[in-house]
Structure 1
Amino acid sequence: MNNDREDFWEKQSFVVITDNTKPAMKYTIDELNERGKEVYVFDLSANPGKGDIKSVEDIPDNVENTVLGITTSNPADFVQALKNRGCSNFWIHWRTETPEIEEMEDPHIQIIKGKCPMMYLGKDFSIHGLHRSIAKLTGKY
């Protein structure tokens, strides 16, 4: 039986916002690409990759899901900007939550926080799969 966190990854289009401070963001991008998802990367670091999105305005309208793994900017600023562009599902990487994210309540959006994306995307025989198994056994999945 799927939960909201598992269902999040079933969508087809994603924007991943990173500043290269959370290594799991690269793995998330790679795994989504491997699964054939439509992935847009918005890299806030000093050295974004070629082809990466350079501003919120460059993100296509109605991208289904946004994954935020940033520590150099407030993710709440991006949630509001992307909500205005039609995105309603947000994943805030664990340990990147801010007070503004914690206080955010909006019946028109879903915010998943406090979890690493790779616990849900990682292969069974990997450190992420081991983490997933432990989380399931301890009721923290």
Structure 2
Amino acid sequence: MASNYHNFFDFNRYAVVGHSAIKPFPLLSYRGLKRLGKQALAVDPSARQIDGDPAYPDFSALPEPVEAVIIEAPRTDTKDWVARAAEAGIKHVWIHMGQDTPEASALAKQHGINLRTGSCAVMYLKPGLSYHSIHQMIMKALGKY
């Protein structure tokens, strides 16, 4: 049976949130979704383009609704992005490992969002041998994959 982490990739339309003025945009997640044949939309309030594609300042600016979102913005912004996801009706959110906060988790629970935290989405998106596959083996050994 697939885990909640695996089920996250059952959707077709995703937003990937970053803030490239503060830290590099999460291209591995963005490109990984596209490589799986998913529609990935870049949400970055500090960029007009990501990887040659349009970037949108927030969820309300997207050309169509998304089913799920990966948040890899600075930790200080995580709660605000979860609130924006709730406002947009997004029910599946993955907060990149180390970027989650108790406030963001509580807000997600309050709004019925299926939240994934404590892990890196790239482990599920990047096939082959890499430091992400090593991370994947460790998480499997710990029963957290």
Coarse TM-score class (shorter-chain normalised): 0.7 to 0.9
Instruction: Give the structure 1 partner of residue 37 of structure 2.
Output: 36
Matches within 5 A, 1:118-137: 118-137=122-141
Instruction: Give the structure 2 partner of residue 53 of structure 1.
Output: 56
The alpha-carbon deviation at position 84 of structure 1 amounts to 2.2
2:107 is the alignment partner of 1:106: no
Matches within 5 A, 1:77-116: 77-104=80-107, 105-106=109-110, 108-116=112-120
The alpha-carbon deviation at position 61 of structure 1 amounts to 5.0
Q: Which runs of 4+ in 1 moved over 6 A?
A: none
The alpha-carbon deviation at position 7 of structure 1 amounts to 0.4
CA distance in 2, matches of 1:118, 1:11: 16
Moved more, 41-50 or 103-112: 41-50
CA distance in 2, matches of 1:86, 1:118: 24
Q: Does the Cα contact within 8 Å between 2:47 and 2:55 map onto a contact in 1?
A: no
CA distance in 1, matches of 2:101, 2:143: 24
Q: Does the Cα contact within 8 Å between 2:48 and 2:54 map onto a contact in 1?
A: no
CA distance in 2, matches of 1:107, 1:44: 24
Identity among equivalent pairs (%): 25
Of 66, 81, 102, the match for 1:63: 66
- CA deviation profile, 1:71-110 (whole Å, cap 9, x unmatched): 1642222222222222110000011112311333226211
CA distance in 1, matches of 2:48, 2:65: 27
TM-score (norm 1): 0.85
The alpha-carbon deviation at position 44 of structure 1 amounts to 3.2
Gap runs ≥5 in structure 1: none
**RMSD of aligned residue pairs (Cα, Å):** 2.2
TM-score (norm 2): 0.83
CA distance in 2, matches of 1:59, 1:42: 8
Gap runs ≥5 in structure 2: none
Write the letter of the residue equivalent to 1:128.
Answer: H
- For these two proteins, the number of residue pairs brought into alignment is 140
